[in-house]
Chain A
Amino acid sequence: MNVEQLLLTVLTYGCLFSVLTLSLNLQYARGGMINFGTVAYFAAGAYAYAIFTQDPPSGLDQYMFGFGAPWWVGFLAAGVASLIFAVVTGWPTLRLRGEYLALTTFAFAEVLHSFLLNERRIGNGSVGLSNIERPEMNWMGLGENYTFALSAILLMGLTMLLYRRILAAPYGRAIDAVRDDEVAAEAVGKDIKRLRFEVFVVSAVPIGFAGALYAMITTLVSPDLFTAEITFFVWIALVLGGERTIVGAILGTMALVTFEEVVRSMHFETVRAAEIAASTEEILTGVIFIMILRWQPFEKFGRKGERA
């Protein structure tokens, strides 16, 4: 096991997924919205990046669109795609609360997944798109892996700054008020619909960018990579880190990614042993999750739970 490689992977994916956790933190811990469809915005970004940067279809390709655009166009397109998907899913669900919102966002994500899986004209269906455009990533001779790690750190840092700026402004106070008590917030002139919708949409954009970066790193997008497991992963990371704090969200994600990567980097003699290790990882993740919900950031989770 190469420790340097492992650290680099943890750092890259840790920062990348922290973008998702931070966004979820804004939506749930501050905005009071349970979004169980996080993966969809991530997938929208990744697919948008792939579609915009890939060459037009030829030969056996079943996809319809490929614009051959430079990477930065694809990157921007990823943010826009995620934003559009957030508008489409956020607008009709504005009046839903708690578990109803959770279920609807979850269903929307599954609808997108189902389309990506079955509609070959988007991204070759279940096969996915491979050989995705990677920008020349050799910044100051550091090598691709380091440059990608730096990009992930940068993306996370910018997301953090963006959310900090929003939350430090009176805007943060207003969304806290809306989450705490909608009726009282309305009585002081807060437009609940606007605030909730904006939080939902704004926090989707960095997720889209993260999707694009993910596509660059893996050079592959396929429906298998974007299942509800990513949504659950982000939720677990958020709970693990303790909600409400930006640092907590990042630490939680890092811890979970480290845990997964360490398990993944272990070598097993047989397939069966690897299977058992994978399921042990799953069980442990679940147990930790349950234990944290029960014993850790209690009052806060509980208080919101009642309201949700």
Chain B
Amino acid sequence: MTQDLLVVDKVIKRFGGLKAVGGDTGLSFTVPQGAFLGLIGPNGAGKSTTFNLISGVLKPNSGSVRLDGKDLAQVRPHEIASLGLGRTFQTPRSFPSLSVLGNVLVGANNAGEHLPSVASGNWRTDEAALQDKARVVLERVGLGPRIGDVVTNLSGGEMRMLEVARQLIREPRILLLDEPTAGVDPSLQKKLSDILVDLHREGCTLVVVEHNLHFLLSIADSVVVLQNGELLAKGSPQEIRSNADVIAAYLGDEHAA
């Protein structure tokens, strides 16, 4: 039995009186070490909220999220990130006052972000190594030529790849990607799927929210389906493709559309 890296245990999140995630019994699923989990469901199913609950941006009203067996209830988002959890956002987020390179470098935790190191100036060697690493990462996501550009010049799809690059330089143990292919043109999509497959092979645990099921079901090794914040089904991509409930709730719409 592989060890579960991430455990979502009976999590309930309400906004006002409305239950966004978890229904009455709470949402539970586990992500084993090294898994490639697809998280799907219709709009408003609570996928992004689930990501926010895992990464600590939101805290659950009840239930718990555990990473490596550690309860994250009292852990602040940046600490969760430092535990090796990386994530991207549904609407890509970037730092407009930094260049493309800066946007990637900021993902790395350089000692020079602490005052003692600023004072001694010993961050420079790290910085040189990180710059090389950032270049490699940017090449990998296809943004090599844009390295010195300002972020506001990037297209929506490039912005998503930039977010991925910012996470890659951190070498996360588990990476949550929120709709990575939305607005990304086909050639970059291919690149993205290669990157994800490589990451998976390298041992990184992946959880991917995606509307593009063709993309996701071809590379994920297991799938969780959410509807109205509750677990509708889980299984291998093949099982999900043939699950009647899922087809009714979700795939039906897609195929019809």
Contacts and interface: CB of A to CB of B under 8 A. Distances in A.
Do A and B touch (CB < 8 Å)? yes
Contact of B112 (A171, A177, A185): A171
Given A187-B81, A188-B81, A174 B57 contact: no
A173 interface: yes
A8 to B, nearest CB: 34
A179 B93 CA distance: 13
A174 B112 CA distance: 9
Interface string B46-88: 0000000001110000000000000000001111011000110
B113 A170 contact: yes
Contacts of A183: 57, 77, 89, 93
Contact of B106 (A177, A191, A202): A177
A180 B96 contact: yes
Contact of B78 (A166, A169, A173, A191): A191
Contact of B117 (A169, A176, A179): A169
B105 interface: yes
B95 A181 contact: yes
B212 interface: no
A176 B121 CA distance: 19
Interface in A138-171: 165-166, 169-171
A261 to B, nearest CB: 35
B115 interface: yes
A188 B170 contact: yes
A190 interface: yes
A256 B147 CA distance: 40
B81 A186 contact: yes
Given A169-B112, A170-B123, A173-B106, A187 B86 contact: yes
A180 B166 CA distance: 15
Interface in A164-212: 165-166, 169-171, 173-174, 176-177, 179-181, 183-192, 195, 198, 202
Contacts of B86: 187-188
The DSSP consensus for interface residues of chain A is helix
A179 B112 contact: no
Interface string B85-109: 0110100011111100010011101
A190 B114 CA distance: 11
A87 B154 CA distance: 40
Interface in B103-135: 105-107, 109-115, 117-119, 121, 123, 127
A267 interface: no
Given A171-B115, A173-B105, A177-B106, A189 B170 contact: yes
Contact of B98 (A173, A191, A202): A173
A272 interface: no
A186 B118 contact: no
Nearest to A193: B76
A174 B113 contact: yes
B181 interface: no
B78 A190 contact: yes
A308 to B, nearest CB: 14
Contacts of B222: none
Contact of B57 (A165, A166, A181, A186): A186
A189 B78 contact: yes
B167 A188 contact: yes
A81 to B, nearest CB: 20
Contacts of B98: 173, 176-177, 180
Given A170-B110, A177-B106, A187 B118 contact: no
Nearest to B104: A188
Contacts of A174: 106, 113
Contact of A189 (B82, B93, B105, B114): B82
Nearest to A167: B118
Nearest to B102: A173
A188 to B, nearest CB: 5
A181 B93 contact: yes
Interface of B: 55-57, 76-79, 81-82, 86-87, 89, 93-98, 102, 105-107, 109-115, 117-119, 121, 123, 127, 166-167, 170
Interface of A: 165-166, 169-171, 173-174, 176-177, 179-181, 183-192, 195, 198, 202, 303
The 6 closest A-B pairs by CB, nearest first: A170-B112, A184-B93, A170-B110, A189-B81, A186-B77, A180-B95
11 contacts: A169-B121, A169-B123, A171-B113, A173-B105, A174-B106, A176-B95, A183-B77, A183-B93, A185-B78, A186-B76, A187-B55
Given A171-B118, A176-B98, 16 more contacts: A165-B121, A170-B123, A177-B106, A180-B95, A180-B96, A186-B77, A187-B57, A187-B77, A187-B81, A187-B89, A188-B86, A188-B166, A188-B167, A189-B79, A202-B115, A303-B96
